[in-house]
A and B are shown apart, each in its own frame.
Chain A
């Protein structure tokens, strides 16, 4: 038996065929590598109906087939037998990763004073990837960089310099090539402190919670602690629903004497005081919402982050 990749030209039954018990099924093939053209074969006994089904589908879809057959005779007479006949999907680039999002941002403990470690994550089906590639650039386009991640991974950490706003995305890579890019996320990273604290104590959390003044709707409750007493804290967040939006900069908050603060994010639509509902086209379901919050103490120069979600309006 020899293996060929072929285009199916014709396939069908013949009541007057003699090569096998009925039904005799003949198939006309052209080998894509040029070994033969418009050559007839017959389906081996026992697989006539199945070869017919795969063959008709290949013609309908314009797809090639993998064929295990006896090498055709000179002059194509007598016909030889096809014993294996597989429809196949030709290899293509992988599907783009989805739900690319930020996980955490911390001052790089071993990096320079202006370096931050950003953790990112993504989802997607396994697509025979050999790697992933995280790409980022500054908004001015002057800096473009990338970093590889292992196949089957769903996240990575990268090191970024402070003082820039970055756009990031990820692509999947297989033996054929690269996927389309995932969704893009944007993050503004503050300039790092000239003398970073030896140990960062500040903490930040974020969670979707009922609004204090309207329990029928929800907002994002952001809580910080262990900042410097009474210091001003800048808070910004990335909000992802249909697409990534932001950074949304909240009004500066002042930590109390213990270094703690609370802040609310209730969306950006002035007509809706809360996160629900997200305005969607008619008939579309409510999207999953994700949040990535970054807080920077103006005197302590501590920057910490937190993430929340996915949260979907109406699902609790």
Chain B
């Protein structure tokens, strides 16, 4: 698992997603260090609702998130998973 500090660009549910049992939550992130921009990830099973709440708060209050993730694949396909998502104060 890699740790990256990111900006949340988009987040929401997808009823036709297949990566986890429902609800599948997708999130689009940009690494503030520049290693990737506008990449999609899915939230690992078991924390979908909590991660959605954190990501929405990050967007609403213009905060960054510290993310534990599987590094994205080349070309951003297939999506990789996020297992930790922490709202950062600054």
Contact = CB atoms under 8 A, between A and B. Distances in A.
Contact of B10 (A50, A61, A86, A127): A86
Contact of A83 (B15, B32, B34, B49): B15
Contact of B16 (A1, A87, A151): A1
B53 interface: yes
Nearest to A152: B34
B71 interface: no
B43 to A, nearest CB: 10
A248 B71 CA distance: 49
Contacts of B10: 66, 86-89
Contacts of B89: none
Interface in B27-56: 28, 30-34, 37-38, 48-49, 52-53, 56
Q: Which of B8, B28, B34, B49 has the most CB of A within 10 A?
A: B34
Q: Which of A47, A84, A88, A151 has the most CB of B within 10 A?
A: A47
A57 interface: yes
A86 B37 CA distance: 17
24 contacts: A1-B16, A44-B15, A44-B16, A47-B14, A47-B23, A49-B49, A53-B52, A57-B59, A65-B12, A66-B10, A68-B14, A84-B16, A84-B26, A85-B13, A86-B10, A86-B11, A88-B9, A88-B10, A126-B30, A126-B33, A126-B37, A127-B32, A128-B30, A152-B34
Which 9 A-B pairs rank lowest in CB-CB distance, beginning with the nearest? A46-B22, A44-B15, A86-B12, A47-B13, A126-B34, A50-B13, A125-B32, A88-B10, A83-B15
Given A45-B22, A47-B23, A127-B7, 8 more contacts: A54-B13, A66-B12, A68-B14, A87-B59, A88-B11, A89-B10, A125-B7, A126-B37
